[in-house]
Chain A
């Protein structure tokens, strides 16, 4: 049993009650599971013939899924690569002392945060096809990356801003006191310290980017993972349920790998930073001892 401040250590009666709850819960979940299983089975959705291609042959993986996943990762990678520096730029821009920089940065960030990525992608695709010479085979990729960059750069800008603002004012004061210029303060003092605080938020944003590439498959002809369902199910007798399940699993595995890698990285960074003694994560609780550590930026699923 974990020690939580929210409930007392459990006595015999509480333990019994918990067992009762557990049993109820298990029964409820099992009932739902059983209903789903039998109904699917009744509709022949669990027939081996519908699932067999994924397990007995490498062909669906080589022909449809792997190229799809590659495109998904490629789009996500480029989007992140461009969005990160852009986001940092706008985030710092919003903290600028000059109105002339602060206001436009704010307007751009708020504008692109307010529009659905789907609409950004559709617009980018149509605009590229009408006004540019980008070759047709890479145009969907460009459109997807553009949509993702515009949107995610503005989200990352907010993350960077929040990360820098979370640092104690003393850091800036101290940097000023030893005669650092504003740029130097940002580069040598504020940014490096806020990276650890920002990391979890950045990682959930990466997951958002990976998931959002699926929009490109749904509405543009971007041949990413989700789009591979169509040719695949057309070949294997409309086994759509099986195809979508496999694809959902791949997304879960990929995103889980990303989050795991990031938390490993975060632990490493935190260990390395111990000596600098940065104060982080006290949140709105101020100096009080709170129930847990509050994250800097809360993931809001601001995308698909």
Chain B
């Protein structure tokens, strides 16, 4: 456990993706089965412990410490698991001395395996024994692990990428077998280490790594022939893979995966039910998850109300009816369609949907066009090009080469996304914060605001934060400006002068705007980035809040 705890500890502080990968790969290479497999399970969210609740941890520590000292400590540290880990009155560390009574520190697999067997009533005693035997970092990791608070900045995808790297494999290969495997993943490690062949899984509804598109530059058009391509709307929902199949006993199985392979089925029981009722057979459909009310596709802001929910109730389901707009068919009754050209897969998809006529599942329509000019016109004005009232949920067009096969990952050439032009606003820089990793000596996270009428006259309302969009050279200039124009410091944050005459104007590009109760201005930008530094523009001429409010979708 202590070695796993060290890894978590280090990962939690390491901002760079590549360095995280190295830490992970180093761990997987040097640790034995089954510990490393349980570690992988912990990082991919495959472990849950029903009985371990923060209240139990609180009881354990209050039995062992002075309440006043605990209160002062918790107040100072601010995190329960960390406070308990530091405060735990461990027996004196004489562990290495011969003849010591100290129990050896438990391994990660000891903990995972015993947690499965320990009853709720026996858990407090068991947990106390482990806490006695671990060091501070080990106690912290144990408490975080079992209470489900393991936030260490590692996605499931990154952990799988690290495993794939052990055997020089593409991470997509690991994704393809992943959903048929169980912790501690012995056959997975055996495969990536070349000791055994690729694991054979009998998952009835497995995930397949999706194909992704590259962003299109207008300059790319010169080399592209419109006759080779088919176009669709780019829907502003979330990319999903809807998979149906039959388990060995004949029971039907439905799953909804995110584009990174996360099984999101539990969040969308209504969509799963619709898939089950459709009689699709055994299929894998690539599509977009949307909220559709009375035939109208709702904006992303509406769909967002259904995302990241811990529990789903009847009201939520009724108020936010889900829908999958299908654009590709990858598997049908055991046949892998991915080696077929796009137009053939499309025909199979059309036939499937015509045959089953499923509720809550329909076809993403094609956008007819002859020339790039015509497509550009449709992209500018989807409403007049067939999208009608759904236009607000469209964020551009997708181009797919008619003859292209379905390639997992992001191959360059067959698929392009041509997003609609971003919105722009001129805002004033208000605060800057130091970045992380390579940027840790640069002020690289910028909070900006726009003018509004305040109680004491004109004031800036912060509307967003951006940390990219600029070149390295521009970052150097921004950093210098921040250092020279600091008026206040709050820890790692600097407030810069932002008056009408001395503020710095940043042109911010963003993809959309939603109402937000979390932000003071009442607005939340999607994907804001700095498109230009307006050294020339006086701050008082920056945009006003009213101008942004006019961009809000009408249905909110």
Q: Do A and B bind each other?
A: no
